[in-house]
Every structure is written in C-alpha cells, then in structure tokens.
Amino acid sequence: MKKTTLLSFFVASQMALSPQLLMAQEHDSQLLGNDFRISYDSEINTNYSNGGEEGDVVNLEGSYVSLSVEWKNKIRGVVKTKLEQIFQDNRVEFNEDFSLSEFIKEAYIEIREINGSPMAIIIGKQPMAFGQNVQAMPLFKNNPLAEMQDIDEVFGVTVDLSEGLFGLFDQAEISAFETDDGNFKIGDIDGVSGRLSVMLTDQVLLTLSHAELGNGHLDSGHERRTSVGLIGESTDGVLVGWVEGLYFSNNPEYPNADFGITTGAMMRVHETTDVIVEYSYIRKELQDYGIGVRTNLTQNVSVGAEVRYQNYVESNRDSDIVFGINLTYRFGSTPYSKNDTYLFGENNEEDPYGNY
C-alpha cells in the first residue's frame, strides 16, 4: 500500500472553502429567496490502524460531503457522499470500479409538520430507526458490534413522531426498508424497525429499538435485533456514560452468538480534550477493551488515538492488540462543522459562516 499524504487531503478541503464558493452560496440564497436555505458540511477522516487481522490499514472511512436544501423549515432534501469512494488507493481520483450507488451514502427528502402535527416523514436512502449510535471512540467503527448497532445506507421510509405515544415517550420512530444496502433500485421492502426514546431524567436518556430483517440478499434467512440503551451525563457535562445491550438472532457475522453489550464512559480532562474507555462483549465470540483520547487542535482539526485489546473467547484465533490514529478536518456552513473549543487559535472569534 502506498503511503498516505495528509497534505493532499487538506489541500482538497481548503479548495472547498474558497471565497468563490462562499460567494456562490450567498448568490444562490438570494436567487431562491428567504424561504430557501442551503447548507453544506464536510468531514475528512484520515485513519490509520496497526494490528489485528488486517495488519496496517490506512483509509478515509467516515469522510463525507453533505449538501442540504430546506424550504420554510418544512421540506428538506439531503445528499451525502462517501469520499473514500473517490480517494481509493490514496489517489485523488475515481477508482476503476467506482459505483455511484455506493458513493451516495444518503439521499432523502424529509417532510415535516404533516397537517400541523409534530411528525416527519423521511423517504430515500437514509439511516433507519435503530440503536443509540454512540460514536465517542476515535475509530468507533472498530467496535466489533458497530455494524449491528445501526442500520444505514438502505432505501426506505421513516415516520418520526416528536411527541410519541400520548406523552409516554419523547420520540417514536418506525422505518420500513430494503435490507440490501448500497443501491438505488427499489426492490423488496423486507425490513422494519422501530425506536422509542424517553428522557428518564434531565441527564439520562433511554432508547428501545427492535428490527426485523429479511436478509434475503445474504441467504442467511430472517434476522432479529433488539437494542436497549442508556446514555447519562453528569450535571456539569464533564462525564458521559453509556451502555447498550443487543439481543440478536441469525446474524451472518456472528452466527453462533445471540447477545452483545457495549459500555463506556467519556471524561473531559481539559476543555479541548476527552478520554474515552469502552468495553464490548459478544457471547461465544470475543471481548474488546478500548481506551482512547481525542483533542481539538483548531476550529476545524481534531486528532484522536486509541488502543484496543481483543480477546477471542471460543476460537483458535489469537488475541489482538489494535492501535489506531484518526485525524479529522471539518468545514461547512453549520455550527456542527466547527469545534467549540480548541488549543490553537481564538475560540470566540467570529467566523465567515456566522458561527461563534
């Protein structure tokens, strides 16, 4: 594998931040009128992992560009692309087996406030209603349960109620979708999922999820997943903890297992730096112990590192120690594309997007 040059990725990012692009965005907003709002976000992740079954790995997993067009806060269209499909083999060009359907991570329309009710309908390729989606570790995808804790990149319909079930829950969602991911062809809707969320206290959130997946494209038969999760935060926001239990059946990745759990905590040791610990267990398969640290270097740049020890319970495979580094560059026109506090630079300085 060729060596990755971070500079090429940052050059590409800076080009997207050019004044001409900002002026074009303002011009488009004037043409569309005040009823329309255009926004974009991008995140470029350069990841390096050493150890485990795959050995040394360098990739751009999790990198994306997202464009959103919204009308009167009632209808929103979103397109989100996966940049790793372009930067294949560390080249700033399309790879030979480029697939548009895999390049488009999300493409959906969201319709809000149906007949004045607190409800939204989302149609298209999108994440489905399942799991609590905690992404605290620098390389959270290395969690052995990560692929089962969410359902994304599939075509479907989600109905979202912000006032769920007569006030018993704060949010209720239900999705119907294709389990075959990564395409734009409308085929068999063979999956359904639901998620209920409720704030037990001002600092504790409970999520309950269930999914039924046909898995016809995997020839593994019907699959079930049930998730129960809790997220809690201290009153001063310094400490966050989470736990998610996952019951499942007929999963093609872990056919001999039926239960897994992830628990973790994140502590802010400095206004710019978090330390994370996480433990995952899959019955009859493995235990995963992880510790990580993440620091915001500038308004746009963050760096993280983690170490995982993976102990395989009932197999002949040797235990692994996996070390990983993640460098993230964010930019865009929304507050989510900026770090609130950071080591280098003026934290309260006004930026060209109107964020502080």
User: Could you tell me if 49 and 143 are in contact, meaning their C-beta atoms sit under 8 angstroms apart?
Assistant: no
Handedness of CA 132, 133, 138, 142 (dihedral sign): positive
Residue 338 is given by DSSP the state: S
Summarised one tens digit per residue, pLDDT across range 33-90 is 678 899 999 999 999 998 767 778 888 889 999 999 999 888 999 999 998 887 665 5
CA distance 271 to 343: 9
Question: Which pLDDT does position 292 carry in this prediction?
Answer: 98
Phi-psi region of 5 (alpha: psi -120 to 50; beta: other; left: phi over 0): beta
Question: Which pLDDT does position 291 carry in this prediction?
Answer: 98
For the chain, give the number of residues: 356
Domain edges within the chain = 6-337
Question: Which pLDDT does position 11 carry in this prediction?
Answer: 32
CA distance 151 to 133: 10
Tokens of residue 26, six digits: 């303002």
pTM reported for the whole predicted model: 0.82
CA distance 216 to 53: 28
| CATH code, 6-337 | 2.40.160.10
CA distance 312 to 261: 15
- Average pLDDT per consecutive 10 residues, the chain (356 residues; last block may be shorter): 34 37 45 79 93 79 94 92 75 65 91 81 94 93 93 93 75 91 71 94 96 79 93 95 96 91 97 97 95 96 96 81 95 88 75 39
Q: What count of other Cβ atoms lies within 10 Å of the Cβ of residue 307?
A: 15
Q: Whose CA is closest to 328, among 355, 295, 302?
A: 302
Tokens of residue 151, six digits: 């359902």
Residue 49 pairs in a beta bridge with 57, 324
- Give the type of residue at 87: F
